[in-house]
Structure 1
Amino acid sequence: MTFNFARTAMLAAPLALAAGMASAGGLAAPVETVAPTPIAPAPAPVMRGSDWTGFYLGGQLGYGDVTISADPEQDDLDGIIGGVHAGYMYDLGTIVLGAEVDYDLADISGAVPALKTGVEVDDILRLKARVGYDAGAFLPYATGGVVRANLSTDDGSIEADGDFYGLGVAYKFSDSILVGGEVLQHKFYEGDDGVQGNGVRATTATARVSFQF
């Protein structure tokens, strides 16, 4: 009996030792660590232009001021102008080229002692070339061309020819609606003798709305 007890103890001792090591974590299976999946950074936003190519037509309303350098005593020649315009733009990617014709009726009148008459500006016709920068929904541009103004005086009518230059901006309110404005400087250098040599200049500023198709 003593022998059996001793043999049992000898067999139980290693089992007890192994159980104790397992409970202490010595025989625990290794835990596999999974590396976190790298997250790619979000791409930087890319500025994209709009496609400005197409025909457009619309209207404008604004203010005009006429000065005659040869007549420092002239009355103020200023008033409201408004009319219609039509044109075409071609988008090259960054540069936008265009051509336009616009026509304004004018309510501008006053006395001009240098011309010995009163003057009323009846209408203004312009032929324009435009060069713009495609800035997405905005299109800032420079414009210039030739102009003809019809004037009425106490002695009859005058046709005054000249040129102009200026700056403008258009904004795509929607795919087909454009809003914007222009400021133009005019110089009249040809026409009837009543205009030549008198330094006739005009400044106009207009708000514009166009429909593009």
Structure 2
Amino acid sequence: MRLTATTALILAATTPAFAGGLADPAPDQVVAPVQMAPPAPVPAPGNWTGFYGGAQLGYGRIEADPLEDGEATGATYGLHGGYLYDFGSIVAGAEIDYEGSNISDDPTGIDFDRFARAKLRVGYDAGRFQPYLTGGAVWAQTSGALDAEDYGRFAGLGVEYKVTDRVRVGGEVLQHQFEDFDGTGLDLDATTASARVSFQF
């Protein structure tokens, strides 16, 4: 009886020690994932596909060969309209425009009244910018000392910038050539530079 009581006392005294020595292992540490900064947004290229129309205002210079004083300068103004298709990097299309002018050559008395052009355009989609090449056929009419009209050719370059998805501004420089204008023996070289505003539909 005494042995049993003694054994019970020993077990009671040593149980806390064993309990303290059998402590549960610390749980594994959880490492939080590293948050990566999102990549900077890349601006999407502009979509130039669609019909458009607008107005232009500019300046022109015309030289008439073989006239000694056959050079005239003045303002130009008009309207334009066309269609472009955006292939991704390349933008192509066609345009027509009509311009009046107050270009007059006082020494010869020749007035250059109006121009009309049928254009082909090929440009590069640079997002909101589009530089382009253009060329085609041009019709011109004169009055005063030379009441005539004839067809010629032209080529040039331009650039446009999209202010919004619907509105764009730009500039264009064109070089025109008329050989033997309306059978008069005059060769006309005309250079025009214009500022343009267009609205895409």
Fold similarity call, TM over 0.5:
yes
Say if 1:50 and 1:134, in contact at 8 Å, map to a contact too.
yes
Say if 2:64 and 2:70, in contact at 8 Å, map to a contact too.
no
Q: How many angstroms apart in 2 are the aligned matches of 1:29 and 1:123?
A: 95
1:85 aligned onto 2:80: yes
Partner of 2:137: 146
Partner of 1:46: 42
Q: How many angstroms apart in 2 are the aligned matches of 1:185 and 1:65?
A: 10
Q: How many angstroms apart in 1 are the aligned matches of 2:185 and 2:115?
A: 15
1:167 aligned onto 2:163: no
Shift of residue 190 of structure 1? 4.8
Q: Secondary structure at the match of 2:57?
A: strand
Q: Secondary structure at the match of 1:184?
A: strand
**What is the TM-score when the length of structure 1 is the normalising length?**
0.77
**What is the TM-score when the length of structure 2 is the normalising length?**
0.81
Aligned mate of 1:59, from 55, 58, 62: 55
1:37 aligned onto 2:33: yes
Shift of residue 185 of structure 1? 0.7
Q: Secondary structure at the match of 2:147?
A: strand
Could you tell me which runs of 5 or more consecutive residues in structure 2 were left unpaired when the two chains were aligned.
Answer: 1-13
Partner of 1:6: none
Q: How many angstroms apart in 2 are the aligned matches of 1:122 and 1:173?
A: 32
Q: How many angstroms apart in 2 are the aligned matches of 1:75 and 1:96?
A: 38
Partner of 1:134: 125
Say if 2:64 and 2:71, in contact at 8 Å, map to a contact too.
no
Aligned mate of 1:183, from 150, 173, 176: 173
Aligned mate of 1:70, from 66, 72, 76: 66
Q: Secondary structure at the match of 2:29?
A: coil
Q: How many angstroms apart in 1 are the aligned matches of 2:192 and 2:185?
A: 19
Partner of 1:123: 114
Partner of 2:189: 201
CA deviation string 1:13-59 (max 9, x = no partner): x99x99xxx9xxxx896474332413335335434212211111111
Say if 2:63 and 2:70, in contact at 8 Å, map to a contact too.
no
1:100 aligned onto 2:91: no
Say if 1:164 and 1:184, in contact at 8 Å, map to a contact too.
yes
CA deviation string 1:45-95 (max 9, x = no partner): 434212211111111001001123433x31640010001111111111211
